Structure 1
């Protein structure tokens, strides 16, 4: 039996998955929002350093986001096909893969912290703070990746409430620890890094504990199987390529901002953090899309997958409109929370106007992204994102080349132009997604794609 886009039961299921996912997702970027607000009052150089370090750290962790997204799709398909044990064993393989990848990445980032930060071309003061933050934060990368994998398993099991509890607890601990270490102990930017590492480790521990309980009840083995772990890694390669291209775009934009100076970089850091917060809020529907699409296709019900997609796309666009209106209303007030530097406040305010106007487009993009990930359409997504990077590159390089001319009209003008160009990237991505979703090639049924 298929569902109509207006079917109350279907809308209820979307809300059941999306509302806890929304609350959990908006808690995650609050880690960085809290860091930005606390560090921003230490000085502009510290805030600029956080911009460089956080861009590097997020890239190091998020290139492996397939540990969550790919696992959600695989687990949901197995659940749709009626195999809970198979779903959990696939998720456990992904978690072991996260342990290995996290350990290797942590060591690499910690050892190369300063050279990685210098790539952005920020000022010497900013680089010093960035390297300190990154070197310490690298210790939390294994926990970040394990949390991604465990969260993916639980979402595939149609459980978005447990990740919500973990995120809220982690966010609360992060604020308390950061305030204590930064201001109470006087550790400065290093204290913020330590607080975040501790909170991330606690979150990962809690999520894995719940996953293990599910596995025990289903009779799933907890041991690592090298062959299956390797297959899990190979399955995630297309999403890895897609994510690498996406992170390249974000890093390229940060590099352009760094070339404009500390004030544009500091304002861009906060604007990016706010944009990420909004993206995670809209991504709640994408999480629901991953779980619902994977389960529906696993059960062979293409009509249900399309019906849910129609509903979620409508909600995503209107959600973007709502968030955009809110940001536009407070765009001149938000900067006061993050910095006392008038120049940074003015540049950030200008950037937030553009961020607000781009939210309806973001709502569309994130929902389709979730649908295609849930469908396991990773190979096409990798190709599309690589093409998007190629198309975005000349736009970003134009801003970099025009830096002095843009700054002649003031930092607010330069940062606003940079965000207009970044919004063009989202428009390119939306065009690719529109073309793909209107066809049927993405909707492959069965327990495995």
Structure 2
């Protein structure tokens, strides 16, 4: 079927909307949460409050995104088991992923002191920014077991093509966080620690909602024998999940290295610069989470195609997702070009931060067009459970493009960071797109 026919095919578009729209709606609440965090803290009296939250939340985000393989690998493998109609395989993956989440979340709490010491040692931020980043981190770290369990449960629900259940989990958590942000920071005057505590409580609420959704799925499907499944959880049974997790971990490590470097290097350029970058990076998150909604459709459909060994399903799903990702990217470009300055003004009342952010807004305006392919093909390769390819693509983009570009352009200051990030996104898109067209398709038989 031609791309135009796919774009006009009502049935296939309804399927995409059914899978993608709930995740787009719920994902938009994630950057909305970041925007509220930024807006609440950004209206305090000094830029170092916002800088402190930016650095502290970057460290937490680094931990969670490094361990984001819990969501991605679970989605890919469960989607394949779903396509192959392997119910017990789906149940085993649920227990395996949840047990890993508990182990890793507890470890993060136990080792919180060396983590924060190491992370802040890498930054040249001011004393005030570092102080408030540590206040934020020491509260927020206690939510990691719940946050990681949320990733595992979310991945399982998405793999079973249950985006509405996942949507309610994310919306409940993020709306709770937004409300408590306003209450704790503005109402109770708890400042940076109030913003962190709001996130902790929100992660707990998210876990309660996700656990109830999973329980409902288990009750509806039937055949879930917890004791018998636990007997099957040998080290060997974890081999496939751990192998995929390892590759996605390395991929996520490279990704977070680039984003963390941008935050920490921005901090070395001054409190106003790191605060301005925090504002603009929230706009970048808005792009990523919206485009990820379409990528979730690709994950579910590509995983199902691999389980069914159906090349036509995979090809049509990827083509349709590509078309809608490109359309969405163009709409984001228009939105940021028209309203970018007004959004910056809403996020911070500090005039000097507004002025700095507007100097670099042009990079965010063009970022959707440069980056949409990277989000789309991440979804394709998660669904295909091809962690090695994702890993290799990210290594090339990080060490072959991002850091060399920054080194060559660093005399341009913060513009060098944004240029390096733009080229990094392009490299991710091109490497995965080329591999898909020349290698991945042949792994699935013609239907």
TM-score normalized with structure 1 length:
0.92
Q: How many residues align?
A: 435
SS class of match (2:257): helix
Q: Which residue of 2 aligns with 1:50?
A: 53
Partner of residue 219, structure 1: 223
1:300 equivalent in alignment to 2:299: no
Aligned to 1:19: 21
Q: Which residue of 2 aligns with 1:33?
A: 35
Report deviation, 1:141.
Answer: 1.0
Deviation at 1:192, TM superposition (A): 0.7
Distance, in Å, in 2 between the alignment partners of 1:99 and 1:54 is 21
Match of 1:280 in 2: 289
Question: In the alignment, does 2:382 pair up with 1:373?
Answer: yes
RMSD of aligned C-alpha atoms? 2.1
Answering whether residue 83 of structure 2 is matched by residue 73 of structure 1, we say: no
Query: Is it true that 1:236 corresponds to 2:237 in the alignment?
Result: no
Q: Does 1:91 align with 2:94?
A: yes
Q: Which residue is 1:441 aligned to?
A: 440
> Which of 331, 337, 350 is the matching residue for 1:341?
350
Alpha carbons 2:298, 2:376 under 8 Å: kept: yes
2:391 aligned partner: 382
Q: Secondary structure at the match of 1:189?
A: helix
Contact 1:317 1:360 in 2 (8 A): yes
Aligned equivalents of 1:164, 1:38: Cα separation in 2: 25
Q: Going by fraction, where is helix more abundant, 1 or 2?
A: 2
Structure 2: state its 5+ residue gaps.
none
Q: CA deviation at 1:270?
A: 1.4
**Which whole-Å deviations, capped at 9, do the CAs of 1:31-62 have from their partners, x for residues lacking one?**
22221111111220010111111111101001
1:128-143 alignment, distance < 5 Å: 128-143=131-146
1:267 is displaced (CA, Å) by 0.5
Q: 1:121, 1:259 within 8 Å by CA — same for their partners in 2?
A: yes
Counterparts of 1:81-230 in structure 2 under 5 Å? 81-110=84-113, 112-216=115-219, 217-222=221-226, 224=230, 225-227=233-235, 228-229=237-238
Q: Residue 358 of structure 1: CA displacement? A: 1.7
Alpha-carbon distance, 1:231 to partner: 4.8
Check 1:443–1:293 CA distance in 2 against 1; reply closer, same or farther (3 A cut): farther
Which residue, 405, 417, 426 being the options, matches 1:395? 405
Which stretch of the first structure deviates more once superposed, 219-228 or 29-38? 219-228
2: CA distance, partners of 1:364 / 1:298: 24
Tell me how far apart the structure 1 counterparts of residues 424 and 167 of structure 2 sit (CA, whole Å).
Answer: 30
Q: Distance in 2 between matches of 1:344 and 1:239?
A: 36
Q: Which runs of 4+ in 1 moved over 4 A?
A: 1-4
- Does 1:62 pair with 2:72? no
Q: Which moved more, 1:154-163 or 1:109-118?
A: 109-118
How many angstroms apart in 2 are the aligned matches of 1:198 and 1:418?
A: 34
Given that 1:86 and 1:220 are in contact with CA atoms closer than 8 Å, whether structure 2 keeps it comes out as no
| Structure 2 residue aligned with 1:410 | none
Bigger mean CA deviation after superposition, 105-114 or 119-128: 105-114
- Alignment match, 1:245: 254
The runs of 5 or more residues in structure 1 that have no matched partner are 407-413
Q: CA deviation at 1:285?
A: 0.8
Most deviating of 34-43 and 80-89: 80-89
